[in-house]
Structure 1
Amino acid sequence: MKHPVDVHVGKKIRYRRWMVGMTQQQLAESVGIKFQQIQKYETGMNRVSASRLWDIAETLEVPVHFFFDGVQDGEIETEITAQPAESDTDLLADKEALALVRSYYAIPENQRRKLFDLARVLSEAA
């Protein structure tokens, strides 16, 4: 049975990997394992050891605690970047949403703010 924290950590690995535009194969090669193991980590099927999580964090250029953001006393908080373990609408699993977010953050900050304001106006008009 999957532990909710393992699932949460896996989702955060997948989220960050997508945000930096890295494939499972690239991440696996960087930390010295096979991509199938990354798949198992990302689904929560396998637990990530402390040393492996350290290597993954260094490769993805985030602090180790990034993977636990949204976990409070073993319970998963509901956030846009940390969906609950049983969510049917997992934005982190939506490749189009992740590609959109990655592209959004590639835009210079002043233009990004204007795009954000435009999106907000359009969504209110819809």
Structure 2
Amino acid sequence: MMPKDTLTDHDRKVGERVATLRKAKGMSQTGLGEALGVSFQQIQKYERGINRIGAGRLDRIAEVLGIPISDLFSPAPAHDETWTLLQTSGAIELLRHYSELEPEQRADVVALCRSVARLSRGRRSP
């Protein structure tokens, strides 16, 4: 039998999803902590998978973020890549700015990113 306070991979994934969804809403750890009545350090522990998030707290997090509680759990398999990409440092900030652009500007940004990624891959190749 597993000890009561042992975290599982599922617990860690829920913490990661809290972080991703919080960032997507443009909310800081401090802001979420204040809404929940806990410190930003506690939010960090939840998001890093150091502390397990209780059911009541999960319900409150979903309420504060304005999402269904089911969004905090495993996304559909088709969304796995999206979740992984959104967890990349800076991805949500980039998307936030990208969404403010006109369609022509978006096409230019995509072309620029594609070129930079191609150059980066070329430098890493032996």
CA, structure 1 residues 63+23, in 2 after alignment: closer, same or farther (shift >3 Å)? same
Counting matched residue pairs gives 113
Name the structure 2 match of 1:15: 20
**Which one has a bigger Cα radius of gyration?**
2
Q: TM-score, normalised by structure 2?
A: 0.69
Structure 1, gaps ≥5 residues long: 84-90
Corresponding residue to 2:37 among 24, 27, 32: 32
Which structure shows the higher helix fraction?
2
The residue type equivalent to 1:3 in the other structure is T
Identical-residue share of aligned pairs (%)? 34
Equivalent-residue separation in structure 2 for 1:21 and 1:51 (angstroms): 23
Indicate the RMSD between aligned Cα atoms, in angstroms.
3.0
Q: TM-score, normalised by structure 1?
A: 0.69
- Asked if 2 retains the 8 angstrom alpha-carbon contact of 1:9 and 1:67, the reply is yes
Structure 2, gaps ≥5 residues long: 1-5, 120-126
CA, structure 1 residues 66+116, in 2 after alignment: closer, same or farther (shift >3 Å)? farther
Name the structure 2 match of 1:80: 82
- Asked if 2 retains the 8 angstrom alpha-carbon contact of 1:20 and 1:102, the reply is no
The residue type equivalent to 1:10 in the other structure is G
Corresponding residue to 1:101 among 88, 92, 95: 95
